[in-house]
Amino acid sequence: MKSIVGRYLIEELAQMSAGDRSEGGAVLPRSRHQWMVSRLTQLPKPVAIFTARDTDGVEIFEACDRAGLQVPDEVSVLSVDNQEAICECLRCPLSSIEVDWELVGYKGAELLHQLINGGESPRQTLYVPPSSIVEREGTNFLAVQEPNVFAALEFIHRHFHEPIQMCDIISHIGVSRRSLEKAFRVHSRRAPIEELRRIRFERVKTLLQTTDDSVANIANQSGFQSDHTFCRAFKREFMMRLSEFRIETRSAVSDCNTRES
């Protein structure tokens, strides 16, 4: 998949003609939008775009709409900040990187305290790792040409948080289980039910790492029908209990932050 990043977009914008700028030298919004529409139309598809802010991601969505491009089928977008008021309210929810601003503030205060007390400034830039990538439909791209496999994967990704099973997938596609599983063996790395399980456990891991939600809430958000079923499936998948996984992963993140400081 091709990709362009925020810096590349900025560099190309800087090369726009002087006629597209105001007296103060700023790129006019209309010209910026027209450039995005033109550039997105020219790029080979599918294409992935990374933007430095959620608001920039919204601009890309608007340009795609104007150009008649489908998100995420033709253009996938990942931004930064994870402002839910923006990301969740779009027709196609925007995937975004969650920045750990609390840790950024803590590190900044720690450095300021060090400098006030006569310490030396760091010779290298201090980087704070992001909390996570919050995946939404904006990057839910399924690069599969076979129509039944594509439709099944799309259904799984859209409804994994519901208590769906293999029979629901088959009913939605309208083919036999044997035909669908045969198509998956040729065009996908995993069987339909394996993909469903993978997506659900990815959501579980994210919730365990980033929230204090109860087992019941996590099970409900991940498509498991009961706490008991959820706990058994998790232990079978990861060979440890939910509480052990939460403690272990958070300890690993804490150790990483300590080493970087």
- What ranges do the domains of the chain cover? 2-138, 143-260
Give the burial class of 56: count Cβ atoms within 10 A of its Cβ; 0-12 exposed, 13-18 middle, 19 or more buried: buried
Q: What is the pLDDT of residue 187?
A: 86
Spatial distance between the Cα atoms of 40 and 220, rounded to a whole number of angstroms: 39
* CB 203, CB 161: distance < 8 Å: yes
Spatial distance between the Cα atoms of 170 and 136, rounded to a whole number of angstroms: 24
How distant, in Å, are the alpha carbons of 8, 38, 81, 108 from that of 18?
19, 18, 32, 39
| Token digits of residue 99 | 């920045």
CATH, domain 143-260, list 1.20.1250.20, 1.10.240.10, 1.10.10.60, 1.10.645.10: 1.10.10.60
Q: What is the pLDDT along the chain (261 residues), one digit of tens a residue?
A: 344 444 444 445 444 433 444 444 554 567 888 888 988 888 887 788 999 999 999 999 999 999 998 888 788 999 999 999 999 998 889 999 999 888 899 999 999 999 999 988 888 888 888 888 888 888 876 767 789 998 999 899 889 999 999 999 999 999 999 999 999 999 887 899 999 999 999 889 888 888 889 999 999 999 998 999 999 999 999 999 998 998 887 765 554 444 444
Q: Give the residue from 90, 89, 80 showing the smallest Cα distance to 134.
A: 80
The per-residue DSSP string of 186-199 comes to: HH-SS-HHHHHHHH
Q: What is the pLDDT of residue 73?
A: 76
* CB 203, CB 221: distance < 8 Å: yes
Phi then psi dihedrals of residue 184, to 5 deg: -65, -35
The single residue listed with the structure tokens 């402002």 is 83
- Enumerate long-range contacts of 123-130, CB under 8 Å, 24 or more apart: 126/260, 127/260, 128/99, 128/100, 128/103, 128/104, 128/257, 128/260, 129/100, 129/256, 129/257, 129/260, 130/80, 130/97, 130/98, 130/99, 130/100
Q: What is the pLDDT of residue 141?
A: 66
The single residue listed with the structure tokens 């002087």 is 18
Topology, domain 2-138: Rossmann fold (3.40.50)
Amino acid at 113: H
β partners of residue 96: 79, 134
| Token digits of residue 139 | 């990057």
